[in-house]
Each structure stands twice: as structure tokens, then as C-alpha cells.
Amino acid sequence: MLTLSHPVLKTVTPNLPQPDYDRVGIDTNRRRFLKSSLIVTAGCFITSLPLSGLAQNTASSGDTLRAFIRITQAITEHKQVNAELAAHFFNAFVKKVPNFAQQITPLVQMIQEGMSATAFAEKAQAAGLQARLQQIVTAWYTGTVGNDYHGILVSYQQAWMYRTVSDGLVVPTYCGNGPLWWTAPVPDANSTAVIDAL
């Protein structure tokens, strides 16, 4: 065994108490401190939120979304409206058009039970709201909000202009299987259905 007796190479260590890692565990105090700090920070953040305002905001946005869906159903006479897609269209309109939520209130108030789309459009035109109504219809059928090059694409595959031919044609795209074909489940490798179909 080699021993160093050179005076420069000797290190002087003060007699500090060494922690007993077997009894306490490595870095337990640091972990405990970090957990406590995180809990206190999260608690402070949560208590600083205006929860009543948040609940009111959610309720009012839900009401305006329902109004948007009702307007869509009345003007297009489509009773089955995808609520998730409607929410995306509504959010795109809110981003694109200032005060969109307030602008649709008069439209929803015009709707009467059993009213045809033509009668609804005539009432909207008399009130000067035909342009807004036309924007909503255009958005659903084209899948975009806005007709300029700054328009917001909401949906391509689910645009209503493809509904009329959906039983015979796929949505136009560069691949024959339609858009988002890669999201379909992979066929079973052991299945002979693919081979039989050829």
C-alpha cells in the first residue's frame, strides 16, 4: 500500500460532524423542503385565483356556444351539429371578430320554434345581421373562418361541403385514403381480409 507523506499533498479536513446517511437517507431533508415549498406555492396560487369569476366566465362561454349551435341549426337546418367542432368554430370567430359573442345575441333572439332557414335569413337581413349569418354558414361549409388569406382553418375533412358526396367520394386530398388516413388503426398482420379484398 502506498502512503503519501508529502506535506503539500496532505489535506486538512476539519472535524465536522458527518451525517448518518443510513439513519436519515440521502437528501431526505432537501426533498422534504422541496415538497413543502411546492405545496405552499401551489396553495398560494390556487387561493389567489378568482374562482367565482372563473365559474361565471365558463358558464357564459357555454351559453354563447349553445347560442352559436342554435343559430347554426336554425340557418342550416342541420339538427346534428358536432359540439366539439362548433366550439372550435366559435373560438376562431372570437379570435377573428371583435365582440363576436355579443353580436350573435340578437341572432339567437330572432329564432322561433319551427322557423325555416329562409324566414330566419329574412329576419336577419331586415335587422342588418345578414353578413354575420352568412359568415357562420360559410365557415361551416368551407371549414374556415374568414375569407381572406388571414382566415383560420378549423376543419378540412369535416367541412359540410363534403357531406353531400360523402357516400361516394372521399375528401379531396393527395392521398387516396383521405386526410388523416394514418390515424386509423393498423390492420392485423394475421388477418386475411386485406388479401381477400385484393
Q: Is 145 helix (H, G, I), strand (E, B) or coil?
A: strand
Tell me, yes or no, whether 167 lies in a domain. Answer: no
Tell me, yes or no, whether 140 lies in a domain. Answer: yes
* Domain count for the chain: 1
pLDDT tens readout for residues 50-106:
544 444 343 345 688 999 999 999 999 888 888 999 999 999 999 998 889 888 899
> CA 198 to CA 193: how far, in whole Å?
9
The pTM of the full predicted model, rounded to 2 decimals, is 0.57
Beta strand residue intervals within the chain, DSSP E: 144-145, 152-153
Q: Which domain holds residue 113?
A: 59-162
153 pairs with which residues across the strands?
Answer: 144
Tell me, yes or no, whether 181 lies in a domain. Answer: no
Tell me, yes or no, whether 144 lies in a domain. Answer: yes
